[in-house]
Structure 1
Amino acid sequence: MTPQLNNEEGTILIAPQKAAGQPRGSMISASFNFINSIIGSGIIGLPYALNQAGLPFGLLLLVVVALITDYSIILLIKGGNLSGTNSYQSLVQRTFGFPGFLILSGLQFFYPFIAMVSYNITTGDTLTKVFQRIPGVGPDHILAERHFVILISTLAFTLPLSLYRNIEKLGKVSLMSMVLTCIILIIVIIQAATFGPQIPPTENSWAFAKWNAIQAVGVMSFAFICHHNSFLIYGSLEQPTLANWTRITHVSVGSALIISAAFAVAGYTTFTGYTQGDIFENYCRNDNLATFGRFCFGVSIITTFPLECFVTREVLSNVICSRDLSKVEYVAITFLIVGACASISLAYDCLGVVLELNGVLSATPLIFIIPSACFLKLSPGRWFQGENLLPTILILIGFFVMITGLTMTVLYPQDCSHGVEMFYCADANVSGTVPPV
């Protein structure tokens, strides 16, 4: 029988079941894990999102996306409590049956799959410039070729790490990724103060809003999505009550918003209209501090790739096999997933569009639509009354962002200059290096 707990308001909550003897964590540790799950590689595209939306309006949209994320995470746990389920998949299956389960499984597959494609694209863009700082490695060297770098990183690092069957062996990755993200944030802020004044601003750099704002929402959604970890973190609490969960969510999302906004503003104000989907594409090759930042980010995404691969493999095994995979099946599916990601990233190199598509097609329904739909299905009353009004509005907003964002991304794709040195790096007055302290 599933244990039940009473929260401070007297509402009956379903406490997620844990294995016997498995320790529960404090609210502080849960908050740290939650912040770490939100702040990931998607943060690198947030300056690009401000370039699309305009700085003031982009910041406003970032706050709105954070608030919606905060609300939908709490709504997700409320839905689990109403249905007596303790995972995103079981909640959707209990609410909408097997068709709903298939739709959610598809979204949960494509989100990390496209994320892995973006990781490979970024690896090719980022590490090639790192290698060019090695004496004797020029633009024509094989280490400066993005296709070669993607293949080598796949064969030497991401594929072997992705073959681990126990995700606990990758447990230290999240902590290292968090530390590297903080280092990258510091580097971007320093560069905004030292390198930014040397770059001429573009036309309409400080416009309040731009017409690509809907596409920016997709990038922001990609950066903030963390719903697949919500039930896991909720179940790790010593006292898994809705009141405790609400506090943790507010603190975690609020902290992530502050870090994300600082990164986005620092990156955009440095390069304004020249800002690329991967902010490190904007820095010059002879910039030593940026090179160190590129190295940190390259290591971060290479070690994060296996975690996303674990999710896609689990989704495939649950939907196709409905059982534990044999060793041969496990290796074959892993090779298939990693190989498909490498092939797509070798053929396409525009990170901004990849982030937009993943945001509008996968992250938006996972944040805006599905948690709200599950809650409305389980909650009594009319859709436009009481506490059901806001979830209804979120569903409508989610469909609007998906349809409009997809249309604009296809019809008006953003320009890319990946692997190309920016024009201001050739200017004699713009060295791209940090002045000595």
Structure 2
Amino acid sequence: GNSDLASAGFNIINSIIGSGIIGLPYSMKQAGFPLGVLLLFGVAYITDYSIILLIKGGNLSSTSTYQELVKKTYGLIGYLILSTLQFLYPFIAMISYNIITGDTLTKVFQRIPGVEPGNVLTDRHFIILFTTIIFTLPISLYHDIAKLGKVSLISLILTIVILVVVMVRTVTFSPQVPKSENAWIFAKSNAVQAIGVMSFAFICHHNSFLIYGSLEEPTLNNWSRITHVSVSLAVIISVVFAACGYMTFAEYTEGDIFENYCRDDNLATFGRFCYGVTVILTFPLECFVTREVSIYHLPLTRLISFFHSPALLFIHSYKVFVIVISHTQGVLSATPLVFIIPTACYLRLSEEQWNHSDNIISCLILAVGALVMTVGFVLTILHPQECSHGKEMFYCFPSNVSFHNSTLPP
């Protein structure tokens, strides 16, 4: 590898704060704001711990990929399950990234003077294909993930700009949005589903071995330093983003926080543009993982990029991303990759006494992961979360605010 510690750290952060960050304010709505913040710190801790545990397992088993690690510990069945998750999670994530790109950038272009409905720039199909051919495909053709370090740095800078936009609007726009008292209760019944959304936002395990292998000095000590710093920065950004987003819109918070801002809000439009670019720059990291399951890297990259783009053109509702991807992917794909598989592999490989701290913590994380995956999936099926898409929120029309204030419960 030829990646320094900083470049590897940027890649980890970019992998964490990808498309999932815009759903974090909604996870506060699901869990209850105080409990949601605590859960977010908890998921961040588990992410940090299990990423390091993965590399420890790799060292113990003398393996250099996630698939090899699982195959050595749980045989062919484990290998097939992991490979399926390793491919489907980033592949579906890439679909969500292009849905975001198409829906976000068309809203931005609609704000340009002279761009009327029917213009090619307002056609999400055109935007998706254009960004795929011009941006995401060329970047995804890199053979070395270390080369994405600078791309990830740009993505991080844009994410901080987006965070500033959200913080500014918390101060300037929050008074316009009516609040109810139950918006600030400690815990709500959808807390388990909120963990799924958080797991979807924080997962970076599927490309951890790739980033670790790109280091100039791939040692456990270096990896631990990178992981601690990267996850710490990611959780700070995520908590501030989630808190500011929820404090602005409270019980009206949507699965995509940018759906909450008014169409004529130029600052929010700038934030949407930055977010669209950030998602484009995150796409290649997911593509690298899907390539890893095959030795035919270059042909597979083209196949992935061109196959999923036409497929998602038929998805006309943004709810697909918010409900199906964030929730179902969170509990069925992210939870096993973050909570269950790393700890299960380590427990089988560990040579420590059963009461060693790593074994005890691994058992606890494994149990929590199994609970979240089972209960979260059942709740997602029985009580799917709704969201609006493309509709102007009522508080964007001042005449409607007084009416909603009068109908809010005391």
Superposed pair shares fold, TM > 0.5: yes
Question: Matched residues in 2 for 1:413 and 1:106: separation?
Answer: 25
2:340 is aligned with 1:366: no
Aligned to 1:113: 91
Given that residues 158 and 275 in structure 2 are in contact (C-alpha distance below 8 angstroms), is that contact kept between their aligned partners in structure 1?
yes
Larger proportion of helix = 2
Aligned to 2:287: 309
CA deviation string 1:213-246 (max 9, x = no partner): 1111111111111113323333444544333332
Given that residues 119 and 301 in structure 1 are in contact (C-alpha distance below 8 angstroms), is that contact kept between their aligned partners in structure 2?
yes
Given that residues 76 and 375 in structure 1 are in contact (C-alpha distance below 8 angstroms), is that contact kept between their aligned partners in structure 2?
yes
Aligned to 1:298: 276
Picking from 132, 151, 154, the partner of 1:158 is 132
Evaluate the alpha carbon distance shift between residue 313 and residue 356 of structure 1 in structure 2; reply closer, same or farther with a 3 A threshold.
same
Paired residue type of 2:60: L
Given that residues 253 and 260 in structure 2 are in contact (C-alpha distance below 8 angstroms), is that contact kept between their aligned partners in structure 1?
yes
2:250 is aligned with 1:272: yes
Deviation at 1:325, TM superposition (A): 6.0
Deviation at 1:427, TM superposition (A): 1.2
Paired residue type of 1:352: V
Paired residue type of 1:390: I
Deviation at 1:404, TM superposition (A): 1.0
Question: Matched residues in 2 for 1:280 and 1:376: separation?
Answer: 42
Question: Matched residues in 2 for 1:399 and 1:288: separation?
Answer: 44
Aligned to 1:400: 371
Question: Matched residues in 2 for 1:250 and 1:306: separation?
Answer: 23
Deviation at 1:141, TM superposition (A): 4.3
TM-score normalised by length of structure 2: 0.88
Evaluate the alpha carbon distance shift between residue 82 and residue 310 of structure 1 in structure 2; reply closer, same or farther with a 3 A threshold.
closer
| Match runs of 1:300-379 below 5 Å | 300-315=278-293, 318=294, 323-324=295-296, 327=299, 331-343=302-314, 345-346=315-316, 349-353=319-323, 354-379=325-350
Aligned to 2:362: 391
Picking from 207, 218, 233, the partner of 2:196 is 218
Secondary structure of 1:204's match? helix
Paired residue type of 2:79: F
Picking from 56, 67, 74, the partner of 1:96 is 74
Given that residues 158 and 303 in structure 1 are in contact (C-alpha distance below 8 angstroms), is that contact kept between their aligned partners in structure 2?
no
CA deviation string 1:317-355 (max 9, x = no partner): x2xxxx43685x764454323333433x33553432121
Question: Matched residues in 2 for 1:243 and 1:279: separation?
Answer: 38
Given that residues 118 and 355 in structure 1 are in contact (C-alpha distance below 8 angstroms), is that contact kept between their aligned partners in structure 2?
no
In structure 2, the gaps of 5 or more residues are: 402-410
Q: Which moved more, 1:221-230 or 1:306-315?
A: 306-315
Aligned to 1:83: 61
Aligned to 1:288: 266
Question: Matched residues in 2 for 1:32 and 1:143: separation?
Answer: 34
Evaluate the alpha carbon distance shift between residue 371 and residue 186 of structure 1 in structure 2; reply closer, same or farther with a 3 A threshold.
same
Secondary structure of 2:385's match? coil
Evaluate the alpha carbon distance shift between residue 252 and residue 92 of structure 1 in structure 2; reply closer, same or farther with a 3 A threshold.
same
Identity %: 60
Deviation at 1:249, TM superposition (A): 2.0
Evaluate the alpha carbon distance shift between residue 351 and residue 326 of structure 1 in structure 2; reply closer, same or farther with a 3 A threshold.
closer
Aligned to 1:173: 151
Secondary structure of 2:384's match? coil
Given that residues 125 and 418 in structure 1 are in contact (C-alpha distance below 8 angstroms), is that contact kept between their aligned partners in structure 2?
no
Paired residue type of 1:351: F
Given that residues 17 and 202 in structure 2 are in contact (C-alpha distance below 8 angstroms), is that contact kept between their aligned partners in structure 1?
yes
Deviation at 1:84, TM superposition (A): 1.0
Secondary structure of 1:205's match? helix
Aligned to 2:205: 227
Given that residues 218 and 360 in structure 1 are in contact (C-alpha distance below 8 angstroms), is that contact kept between their aligned partners in structure 2?
yes
| Match runs of 1:241-280 below 5 Å | 241-280=219-258
Question: Matched residues in 2 for 1:338 and 1:182: separation?
Answer: 28
Given that residues 350 and 416 in structure 1 are in contact (C-alpha distance below 8 angstroms), is that contact kept between their aligned partners in structure 2?
no
Evaluate the alpha carbon distance shift between residue 272 and residue 342 of structure 1 in structure 2; reply closer, same or farther with a 3 A threshold.
same
Question: Matched residues in 1 for 2:208 and 2:248: separation?
Answer: 35
Paired residue type of 1:411: L
Evaluate the alpha carbon distance shift between residue 361 and residue 425 of structure 1 in structure 2; reply closer, same or farther with a 3 A threshold.
same
Aligned to 1:193: 171
2:396 is aligned with 1:418: no
Deviation at 1:189, TM superposition (A): 0.4
Given that residues 221 and 359 in structure 1 are in contact (C-alpha distance below 8 angstroms), is that contact kept between their aligned partners in structure 2?
yes
Given that residues 184 and 297 in structure 1 are in contact (C-alpha distance below 8 angstroms), is that contact kept between their aligned partners in structure 2?
yes
Paired residue type of 2:361: L
Paired residue type of 2:316: L
Question: Matched residues in 1 for 2:246 and 2:187: separation?
Answer: 14
Evaluate the alpha carbon distance shift between residue 242 and residue 54 of structure 1 in structure 2; reply closer, same or farther with a 3 A threshold.
same
Aligned to 1:208: 186
Question: Matched residues in 2 for 1:348 and 1:192: separation?
Answer: 24
Over the aligned positions, Cα root-mean-square deviation in angstroms equals 2.6
CA deviation string 1:140-199 (max 9, x = no partner): 545696xx31x1122212145454433557664322211211110010000001111221
Q: Larger radius of gyration, structure 1 or 2? A: 1
Given that residues 92 and 100 in structure 1 are in contact (C-alpha distance below 8 angstroms), is that contact kept between their aligned partners in structure 2?
yes
Given that residues 192 and 269 in structure 1 are in contact (C-alpha distance below 8 angstroms), is that contact kept between their aligned partners in structure 2?
yes
Question: Matched residues in 2 for 1:333 and 1:223: separation?
Answer: 22
Given that residues 132 and 285 in structure 1 are in contact (C-alpha distance below 8 angstroms), is that contact kept between their aligned partners in structure 2?
no
TM-score normalised by length of structure 1: 0.83
Question: Matched residues in 2 for 1:326 and 1:173: separation?
Answer: 20
Given that residues 92 and 101 in structure 1 are in contact (C-alpha distance below 8 angstroms), is that contact kept between their aligned partners in structure 2?
yes
In structure 1, the gaps of 5 or more residues are: 1-17, 431-437
